[in-house]
Structure 1
């Protein structure tokens, strides 16, 4: 990974995070946009667009920090646990999905349904599975479990600040750009590393 490739990865991921968060805010925070459109307030609207774009940039940076932290942890795990590392990653995936359902349900109001928490965990696993399958297809079979681990465990860790907030707005506002940025980095990395320099 050269510095030029890293800069390309950084800026494209940053733009992706900002754009997706802004687009998601049109749905999740539609009431906030409605307030500045009726009556129309141009400066309030610009401020709102800048706020959600900036929030997306922050989510993107969190995603990138998580990605490079994962690359370090994966190398550490391979060196320390060797052949046991894939099994440990599978255990952590299952444990994370269980926690994502159990602890959120325990913190919910009394009488809340368990189904939304189960569906959230299942949706995260489904998206992660698809990304991991693509990663395996484009690289090798050994990449499946690490890719699934990254998409499930690391994404959930990055998602914690939104999960701890009150209300569901920021839960959805954060997870969509996080998933997209994480998948983008994971699937772009081997393409950047395999890209050969153009002949003169």
Structure 2
């Protein structure tokens, strides 16, 4: 990967994150009844705040993506390829189980439904994106894509999960998953050598 390709990935992911945050923020306003803006300037500044927040989330997603690439490179170097695939599957399942069940039982007083919906949403997104990644590349891409979109995404949202507010979770998860899905689907296109 050269600087020009990284620059393209950076800016397109930035736009995806900004768009995802605007969509999530406006949908949350419709669902929650909206904000009473005091002036027209406030109503114009709010989408700009959403854009800025989405850009921050996209940079955070890019940090997680490059951390995953390094982890995957090290995992392939340390473990045999088949063992590394099994490790990724096990870690993905443990992350999903922790998100869906363990937080509810250990944390106490949590809403089981919101954790269940979040876990199912992440799982379905990971399966769908892994399917399209396999169609674009080959079957060996399924496990790394699934691992990145489950385990790494769950690690990235730990901070917002500690807050325990469902709107805040939706507000960060939507642009984060959009950025993660975009990055993993674009990786092979960006790294493909020119004909």
How many Å apart are 1:141 and its aligned residue?
Answer: 1.1
Work out whether residues 70 and 154 of structure 1, in 8 Å CA contact, stay in contact via their aligned partners in 2: yes
How many Å apart are 1:26 and its aligned residue?
Answer: 0.8
Task: Give CA-to-partner distance per residue, 1:143-190, whole Å, 9 cap, x none.
Answer: 110000000011111111211114211100111111111010111111
- Corresponding residue for 2:94? 95
- Corresponding residue for 1:48? 46
In 1, distance between residues paired with 2:175 and 2:137? 24
Work out whether residues 17 and 178 of structure 1, in 8 Å CA contact, stay in contact via their aligned partners in 2: yes
In 2, distance between residues paired with 1:32 and 1:58? 26
- Corresponding residue for 1:26? 26
3-state SS, counterpart of residue 34 of structure 1: coil
How many Å apart are 1:33 and its aligned residue?
Answer: 4.5
- Corresponding residue for 1:105? 104
3-state SS, counterpart of residue 165 of structure 2: coil
How many Å apart are 1:119 and its aligned residue?
Answer: 2.8
How many Å apart are 1:15 and its aligned residue?
Answer: 1.0
CA RMSD of aligned residues (A): 1.8
Task: Give CA-to-partner distance per residue, 1:106-144, whole Å, 9 cap, x none.
Answer: 33527x4x3432232122111101111111121111111
When normalised by structure 1's length, the TM-score is 0.89
In 2, distance between residues paired with 1:25 and 1:166? 18
- Corresponding residue for 1:165? 163
Work out whether residues 162 and 171 of structure 1, in 8 Å CA contact, stay in contact via their aligned partners in 2: yes
What pairs with 1:58-137 in structure 2 (closer than 5 Å)?
A: 58-82=56-80, 83-106=82-105, 107=107, 109=109, 112=111, 114-137=112-135
How many Å apart are 1:32 and its aligned residue?
Answer: 7.9
Aligned residue pairs, count: 192
Work out whether residues 114 and 166 of structure 2, in 8 Å CA contact, stay in contact via their aligned partners in 1: no
In 2, distance between residues paired with 1:187 and 1:35? 39
When normalised by structure 2's length, the TM-score is 0.91
Q: Could you list the runs of 5+ residues in structure 1 that have no partner in the other structure?
A: none
